[in-house]
Amino acid sequence: MSHGFLTIATGDEKYYKMAANLLQSYRYFSKSPLPFAILADRENEYTAEFDDVMLLENAHCNYLDKLSMLESLPYDVNIFIDADCIAYGDLNRLFDMFKNADDFSCFGRVLPLNDKTGWFEYENLGELKQKVSYVVGLHGGVYYMRKSKRCDAVAETAKALVPRYKEYRFKGNFATPGDEPLIALSMALNDCKPIPHDLRGILCYWEYVGQMRLSITDGVAVVKNTEIKTDLLHWGTRFTITPLYRKQIADLRTLEKGGGRTELLLNSMQYGAVETCGQIDRSIKRALNKLKRIFRIK
């Protein structure tokens, strides 16, 4: 059976850059890299780096593209990773984590029907109540998919739920509908369960801003003063413009080119200066806003 990874990039070029960064970090840390595919709406210099390219016609550039991905799996056993992630270790061990999982799975929780913390609430499901025996909470940064009729059913059901998104009153603070609620309910309807969230498998940067020690040169992504560490850091798109993220990528490029301590030190100086300027700018803005409030200046 073929095994491999895949990610998605559609629309803005920044998503292609992030996808390429993910790919390069994976290959850097993996001792035996597996094929890595990308689902995209066009071919370009970034997609050329991937082993397989799947072109998506009429891309929506939103959550619907991820649902389309579920119907176009390139390998027998697939692990999807969001493009705004960076590897800090060998991601091949993700396959070991999911080896006993259902044909469609992810990191998350199986919750009782009266639970209010999952992606949907049982009381809002109407005629679907009789088909659901648990609530699902999941992390949408990683999906495990083993080609089968059951996996296909999860994809088909998730798409079929789209027109009734508002009716089921899904959770999530999204500007537009998200894939996680649809997939969570589809998993419950097709009796597929997530596996317990192993933080080594994926960790959300935005939950630990200012609390992490990161070194892509050493393969280290840990929460300070804890034992929490990960091989895959989910940055979140909004944090990929920060000097800290950009430094990780600059260091990765340096390592790939065989650069040494001098080049890495220059990266630290450059992005450290940018971060310091940003902190000063934010401090000035906070001070000005405070003065405006004090003197009631509009």
Average confidence (pLDDT) over 67-94: 96
Q: What is the pLDDT of residue 58?
A: 85
Q: What is the pLDDT of residue 258?
A: 79
Are 231 and 91 in contact by the 8 Å Cβ rule? The answer is yes
Proportion of the chain above pLDDT 90, given as a percent: 77
Q: For residue range 145-193, what is the model confidence (pLDDT) as tens digits?
A: 999 999 999 999 999 999 999 999 998 777 678 899 999 999 999 999 9
Distance CA 15, CA 29 (A): 22
Distance CA 208, CA 146 (A): 32
Are 31 and 219 in contact by the 8 Å Cβ rule? The answer is no
Distance CA 48, CA 33 (A): 17
The pTM for the full model equals 0.88
Give CA separation, 220 vs 21, 22, 67, 223, in Å.
Answer: 17, 16, 32, 10
Q: pLDDT grade, residue 296 (50/70/90)?
A: low
| Residues 140, 198, 221: CA angle, nearest 5 degrees | 90
Q: Mind listing the domains of the chain with CATH numbers?
A: 3-196 (3.90.550.10)
Q: What is the mean pLDDT of the chain?
A: 90
